[in-house]
């Protein structure tokens, strides 16, 4: 799938985005630390290794050992020295209700816990080499323009990312950039986006 997207972007003379941010997504994980964790099923949200660039080709499953593979210092460590950076393996317990009357109906994908989402001290990408893409993918989502604005501002000002693009047409825009041309997102362009309707 990634090769197909890359080939279409290259045909248009566009650089393939190095990273994509999907607003409204949740990530879950199976274990703590650098321990190898086998995902129980293909729909198990603890199966993060196929989605991380350090391990997507090796066929393993489970939680990524981010303390070992993330080598770049987050620029916010220098800019915000008193900020509380998360450990990359912090988990929120999945099923926290004891003697749960609805245990049988709970989604098993969340059973092992969810990785907390926030900034960590070390990251995978060097922000000066990143071209980021923001893609939204269907459904009503009040406040989405505020998210687009703040993601663009954070990437630009706090991480120092030089290029942020907005993908039009959701996943169709990723696979057909010649039909759905990406829009360059700048702090000026998103300044008042939160006051407008539609993404």
- Average pLDDT, 10 consecutive residues per value, the chain (199 residues): 52 50 35 41 68 88 89 93 89 81 84 82 93 87 91 96 94 92 95 83
How far is residue 43's CA from residue 110's CA, in Å, rounded to a whole number?
10
Q: Is 143 left (phi over 0), alpha (psi -120 to 50) or beta?
A: left
Q: Is 91 left (phi over 0), alpha (psi -120 to 50) or beta?
A: beta
Give pTM, 2 decimals.
Answer: 0.68
Handedness of CA 13, 19, 25, 27 (dihedral sign): positive
C-alpha distances out from residue 78 to 87, 111, 141, Å: 17, 36, 34
Q: How does strand 114-115 pair with strand 91-92?
A: antiparallel
What pLDDT does residue 19 have? 45
Cβ atoms of residues 142 and 196 within 8 Å: no
DSSP state of 2: H
DSSP state of 104: G
Question: How many angstroms from the chain centroid is the CA of residue 145?
Answer: 17
Picking from 65, 194, 179, 180, the residue whose alpha carbon sits closest to that of residue 133 is 180
């Amino acid at each position: 799938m990634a090769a197909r997207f890359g080939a279409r972007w290259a045909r248009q003379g566009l650089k393939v985005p190095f990273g994509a941010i999907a607003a409204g997504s949740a990530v879950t994980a199976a274990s703590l630390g650098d321990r190898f964790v086998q995902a129980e099923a293909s729909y198990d949200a603890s199966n993060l290794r196929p989605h991380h660039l350090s391990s997507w080709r090796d066929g393993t499953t489970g939680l990524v050992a981010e303390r070992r593979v993330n080598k770049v210092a987050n620029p916010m460590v220098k800019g915000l020295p008193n900020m509380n950076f998360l450990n990359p393996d912090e988990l929120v317990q999945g099923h926290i209700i004891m003697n749960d009357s609805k245990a049988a109906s709970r989604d098993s994908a969340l059973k092992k816990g969810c990785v907390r989402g926030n900034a960590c001290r070390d990251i995978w990408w060097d922000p000066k080499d990143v071209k980021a893409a923001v893609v939204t993918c269907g459904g009503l989502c009040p406040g989405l323009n505020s998210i687009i604005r703040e993601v663009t501002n954070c990437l630009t000002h706090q991480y120092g990312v030089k290029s942020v693009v907005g993908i039009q047409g959701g996943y169709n825009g990723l696979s057909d950039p010649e039909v759905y041309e990406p829009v360059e997102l700048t702090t000026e362009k998103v300044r008042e986006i939160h006051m407008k309707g539609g993404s």
